[in-house]
């Protein structure tokens, strides 16, 4: 097996390990509950439509700072509204947890690809709670 094949094999192993992780299982479970909740699905559709409307209104060339602030407040209010749904909240939390795990994996890979430079990871996991 040449080096490229070994790299691809390790990537496959990593993908399998990630797919068997608790973070991934939690994400899939939350996603299934979210999709099964018709109210949650409709709330997300409404939220997406509202976001598009806000973006359209924000792209007007002569928009004022006050109008931008009002649009941001509207967007925040819509987000808070959907987060009151338990299934949406659980899905967003599971999604964020999974994304953090993927970021940590990418950070570690980046650290070693760069030869131990500038990624915030020292390579010595004893002082880090992120990978455990």
pLDDT tens readout for residues 7-64: 999 999 999 999 999 999 999 999 999 999 999 999 999 999 988 988 888 888 888 8
Residue 131 lies in a domain: no
Runs of H (alpha helix) within the chain: 3-19, 22-36, 38-58, 65-82, 86-113
* Domain of 51, in residue numbers: 38-84
Residue 127 lies in a domain: no
Question: Are 96 and 69 in the same domain?
Answer: no
Res 121 pLDDT > 60: no
Which residues are CB-contacts of 24 (< 8 A; sequence separation ≥ 6)?
18, 98
- The per-residue pLDDT for 112 is 92
Res 132 pLDDT > 50: no
Question: Are 45 and 26 in the same domain?
Answer: no
In the chain, the number of structural domains is 2
Say how many CA atoms lie within 13 Å of 112 toward its Cβ.
7
pTM: 0.75
Question: Are 53 and 67 in the same domain?
Answer: yes
Question: Are 57 and 27 in the same domain?
Answer: no
User: In the chain, pLDDT over 70 holds for what percent of residues?
Assistant: 88
40 and 86 Cβ atoms separated by less than 8 Å: no
30 and 94 Cβ atoms separated by less than 8 Å: yes
List phi, psi (to 5°) of 21: -75, 155
Question: Are 44 and 77 in the same domain?
Answer: yes
Residue 3 lies in a domain: no
């Amino acid at each position: 097996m040449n080096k490229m094949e070994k790299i691809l094999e390790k990537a496959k192993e990593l993908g399998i390990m990630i797919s068997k992780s608790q973070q991934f299982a939690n994400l899939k479970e939350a996603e299934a509950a979210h999709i099964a909740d018709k109210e949650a699905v409709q709330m997300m559709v409404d939220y997406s439509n509202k976001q598009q409307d806000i973006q359209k209104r924000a792209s007007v060339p002569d928009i004022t700072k006050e109008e931008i602030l009002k649009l941001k407040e509207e967007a925040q209010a819509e987000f808070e509204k959907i987060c009151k749904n338990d299934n949406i909240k659980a899905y967003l939390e599971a999604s964020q947890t999974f994304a953090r795990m993927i970021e940590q994996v990418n950070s570690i890979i980046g650290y070693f690809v760069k030869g131990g430079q500038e990624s915030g990871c020292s390579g010595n996991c004893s002082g880090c709670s992120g990978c455990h």
